[in-house]
Amino acid sequence: MTPADALKMVRDGGRLSRDMAEAVYVHAATEDLEATAKAVRARHATPGVATYLVDRNVNYTNVCITDCTFCEFYRRPGDKEAYVLPKDAMRTKLSELRAAGGTRVLLQGGHNPDLRIAWYEELLRFLTDEFPDIRPDAFSPPEIEHLARLEGLSTRDVLVRLRDAGLKGLPGGGGEMLDDEIRRRVSPKKTMSAEWLRIMGEAHELGLSTTVTMVFGFGEEVRHRCNAFAAIRDRQDLSIARFGRGFVGFASWPLQHESRYGELWGLKKGVKLGAEPDEYLRHAAFARVWLDNVPHMQASWPTMGVDVAARALLASCDDMGGTMMEENVVSQAGSVHASASETALRDAIIGAGFTPRKRDTEYALI
C-alpha cells in the first residue's frame, strides 16, 4: 500500500496502521496529507468554526528536582531565584483573569519536595471558594507521580484527594515525547511513557478532563514520533472503551532549543533541533490523521506565533488554545510568544477564514 492509498483509506473511514505510519509521515504529499486531516477534522469539529479559550497559565512554583535537560524554567531547592507563589499573588492573578472573562486557570509547577499534598489541597479549596466561576486544571502526570512518591500514596489516591479538593482536570504537560528512548535522553528522572499514560487513564476513570501533548525536535527519528503517536492512540482507545471518555484534545509543538539542551545535545552532536513552520504544520496534519479518536486539535501559537497557528487551522486544527495571559516556561527556552489577547486570537481565526467561538475546557461553546 502506498502512502496515497493509505490516506484514501482514512478518508473512506479506515484507520492508518502503525506499519504505514512512518511512510505516510515522511513520503505522503503534503496536499494529500492536509486534505485527509481536514476530512478527519470534519468528523469531530464544526466546519467553518475555530474555538479558543480565555484562561491563564499560573506557575505556582519553579522549584524542581527533576533536572530536565531542555528546561530553563526550573530552579533547584535553595536557589536564590526559587519561589512558591503566596495566596495574595494567586488572588491577584485570578482576579485579573476574572476581569478578562476567563473561565480556566492552568496550574503547573515543578517537583517541589517541600510542598506536600495538604498544600495542594488547600490551594485548590482556596481557589474553588474564592473563584467558583474559574475552573482549576492542574498538575500534570509527573507532578502527580512526584506527590505520590513524596506521600507514599498511589497515584490514584493522590488524584482522588485532589479531585475532592476541587481539581477538575489534568493538563497534558510532562508528555514531551512518549517514547522512552527519547525520555531517557532528555528527562531521565521524569515519569516514563507507560506511567504517564497510566496516570492519565486513572484520571479518565475518575471523571477528570485531560489533554495530551507532544514536543518534537529533540533530534529524534520519525520512528520515535510514531511510537509516541501510537501510544497515545492506544491509551485513548482503552480509556474510551473502559470509561467512555479520554483526552479531549491534543497539542504539539517543536522544542524551543535556545536552551541548555541545544548546548548539551544539538550543538555538540550536530543534530537538527526544533522545527520550522512547514515541518510543524505537516506534523500537526499527521497528528490529526493518526489520532482519529481524539476530538480536538490545538494549534500552538505560544511556540509558533499566531500567524503560523492560523495556518494550522487551515491544515488540521480546530482550536487556537488559550490566551494564557502569561507564559513562563517555553518563553525562558527561547519563545518570544508569551501571551495573546482574546482579540488577537479572534482576529487570527477570522483571518484564516473561520468563525471564532469562545469555549470552555470541555470544548462546550460559551
Could you give phi then psi for residue 24, rounded to 5 degrees? -65, -45
C-alpha span between 21 and 183 (Å, rounded)? 21
Cell numbers placing 94: 485570578
How would you write the pLDDT of the chain (366 residues) with one tens digit per residue? Answer: 999 999 999 999 999 999 999 999 999 999 999 999 999 999 999 999 999 999 999 999 999 988 777 788 888 888 898 899 999 999 999 999 999 999 999 999 889 999 999 999 999 999 999 999 999 999 999 999 999 999 999 999 999 999 999 999 999 989 999 999 999 988 898 999 999 999 999 999 999 999 999 999 998 999 999 999 999 999 999 999 999 999 999 999 999 765 555 555 554 566 778 899 999 999 999 999 999 999 999 999 989 999 999 999 998 999 999 998 875 544 444 444 457 889 999 999 999 999 999 999 999 999
Please state the pTM of the whole predicted model.
0.93
Q: What is the pLDDT, as a whole number, of residue 154? A: 98
Query: Contact at 8 Å (CB) between 247 and 212?
Result: yes
Which amino acid is located at 168 in the chain?
K
Query: Contact at 8 Å (CB) between 105 and 94?
Result: yes
Alpha carbons within 13 angstroms on the beta-carbon side of residue 153 total 18
Domains in the chain, ordered, with CATH? 41-358 (3.20.20.70)
